[in-house]
Amino acid sequence: MPNHFVQFTAKVKHHLEVIYHDILTPSEIEILVPKLQHSIGVTGNDNCHYPTPHKNRWDESDIVMITYGDSIVENTEGVEFGFSQKPLKTLRRFINEYCDSIISHVHILPYFPYSSDDGFSIIDYSIVNQSLGDWKDIEAISKEYGLMTDVVINHCSARSQWFENFSKQEGIGSDYFFTASPDDDLSMVVRPRTSDLLKVVETPNGPKHVWCTFSHDQVDFDFRNPNVLIAFIDIIRLYLDKGTKVFRLDAIAFLWKVPGSPSINLPETHEVVRLLRTLIEHTAPEVIIITETNIPNRENLTYFGNANEAHAIYNFSLPPLLINTLVTGNCAYLKSWMMSMPPAQNGTTYFNFIASHDGVGLRPAEGLLDEQEIAELANCMQNFGGKVSWRKTDNGQQKPYEMNIALIDALKGTIKGPDQYQFQRFICAHAIMLGLEGIPGIYIHSLLGTPNDEEKVKNTGHNRGINRHRWDFAELISELEDKQSLHANVLSALSLLIRIRRSQPAFHPNAVQFTLQLGTEIFGYWRQSIDRKQSIFCISNVTDIEQKVRLSDINLIENSLWHDLIAEKTINQTTEFLCLAPYQTMWISNKATG
């Protein structure tokens, strides 16, 4: 029997030598290795797994629903947290009754006590926010669906016990946070916010200037201190024990800081991701890591490493490019980007999404759309009731960073203005996304067709609140039972698409994908199953007028029967053209499965 533990130990030691090459001595690294192994729970060959390289831990049936623990609540009665039923129980009930056949995984956004940023400023990583429920509620969901949990690893709340100990300069946490001097060269630091980078904190040892990438309530950790690393391995072990199957590494790109550098995507950050991958897969080889890096496309792709970092990366360029395609009626930029994207190696894949709890990031569109086109897109979203969040560049210039808008409203019209095709355009966006190489992630408010929540923006003062509506359960069920309501029609249409997608081998996340050249009004791509038995031609009219596609341009094999899986119709191969209504999608397959 091979001694996997010896190999595991050597890998962990190598990662630590790269990360701490100028910080820890060789003897200190030797001491750190068993501490990390103990924290993750791998202490010998008997409990050390050796992962199969390049193994796909997913298939075409995998669909992730993204939601807050309290996106749906019961009986709030106007009292904050005055729910008659804990929201996690309500969420589970909703999923079981309405989504059981269409999702495999649930990404519950941070479900811990927090002080700001709707959960991403965590006070205590070890307990469930009591307003949502408890660990039993989390475990109940994890037994029925794959649980995706955030590891908010870059920063925590300024109200956490760790940071209070830092302020007092005593106890656990007193040395957990990154400090710099105002005299340091911080001009190159890349950030997604316009607030001051450093926060002055009075301590018994004098004022400290704490690094805050996002806000002054979100204080950044100092991973140069190996005790911070150990603390997070303990957190990951806890989440594994509670049923987590997917880890989302939040804001991971900013993890390692060096004054005088951009302090984003540094080599040490990548090595920390590789270390986390090694530790996790040797204790739980089926668990996957997804990196959340809202950065330009080329930088984002680096988080695959050599199939030894993230199993999956967020496809951040997809949302702005797809929205731009549908509001302009021109798929040239989306098509060009698709052609430039490398196929993911086996054992890695893309995480596709077009809406989330955050806004639509614009940095991932940089270099793909020019500044004028980005400005026009942002202006269009503002015309549809959306907001724009800004960032400050290293020369002090403000640039649009994020568009904050519910997807159903983002697609209520074109650059010409609102029109009658909102529903069709919205379903078209999802049909395009669901067929692409990768695992689809669908935000709960997209499943429900939830519009802009302008009241929440007004009450919270935060632009992102526009797409973080909280549904009353009874009101939602009433809408879903009303077959004439937009919400019922959206859930029905998306459920149909998802059920079709989940039974097509050609939609495996790693199945072959090839971009079709059908002009700028028709966006198309071809997928082929790994066993090469099924092909699907995915074609979408991205305009508000009927379009014709010459059948010979799709190159269907003549001795096969071809079917539109969505319309459940056989393709007449004697015809010269296919006619697509505004925003219609066809999934043309040689196998009539569904």
59 annotated ligand binder: no
- Spatial CB neighbours of 269, under 8 Å, sequence gap ≥ 6: 252, 253, 254, 255, 256
Amino acid at 223: F
357 annotated ligand binder: yes
- Spatial CB neighbours of 559, under 8 Å, sequence gap ≥ 6: none
- Spatial CB neighbours of 304, under 8 Å, sequence gap ≥ 6: 310, 313, 344, 345, 348
C-alpha 588, offset from chain centre? 29
249 annotated ligand binder: yes
Strands 198-203 and 206-211, sheet pairing: antiparallel
Structure tokens at 298: 């080329």
Measured CA distances, 500 to 304, 445, 504, 568, 587 (Å): 29, 21, 7, 10, 10
d(CA 293, CA 168): 33
147 annotated ligand binder: no
Find, among 360, 522, 533, the residue nearest to 432 by Cα.
522
Would you say 83 and 377 are in contact if contact means Cβ atoms under 8 Å apart?
Answer: no
Amino acid at 155: H
Which residue among 220, 250, 544, 564 is the active-site one? 250
> Please, is 384 exposed, middle or buried when counting C-beta atoms within 10 Å of its C-beta (0-12, 13-18, 19+)?
buried
358 annotated ligand binder: yes
* Strand runs labelled E in 50-197: 64-67, 72-73, 105-108, 146-152, 155-157
Find, among 588, 592, 587, 561, the residue nearest to 574 by Cα.
561
d(CA 405, CA 383): 11
Q: Does residue 453 carry a catalytic annotation?
A: no
What are the backbone dihedrals phi and psi of residue 12, each rounded to the nearest 5 degrees, phi first?
-60, -45
155 annotated ligand binder: yes
Q: Which helix (H) or strand (E) holds 279?
A: helix 267-281
33-38-42-45 Cα dihedral, nearest 10 degrees: 70
d(CA 234, CA 221): 15
Binding-site positions: 117, 155, 248-250, 357-358, 464
Binding-site positions for substrate: 117, 155, 248-250, 357-358, 464
What positions carry a catalytic annotation?
250
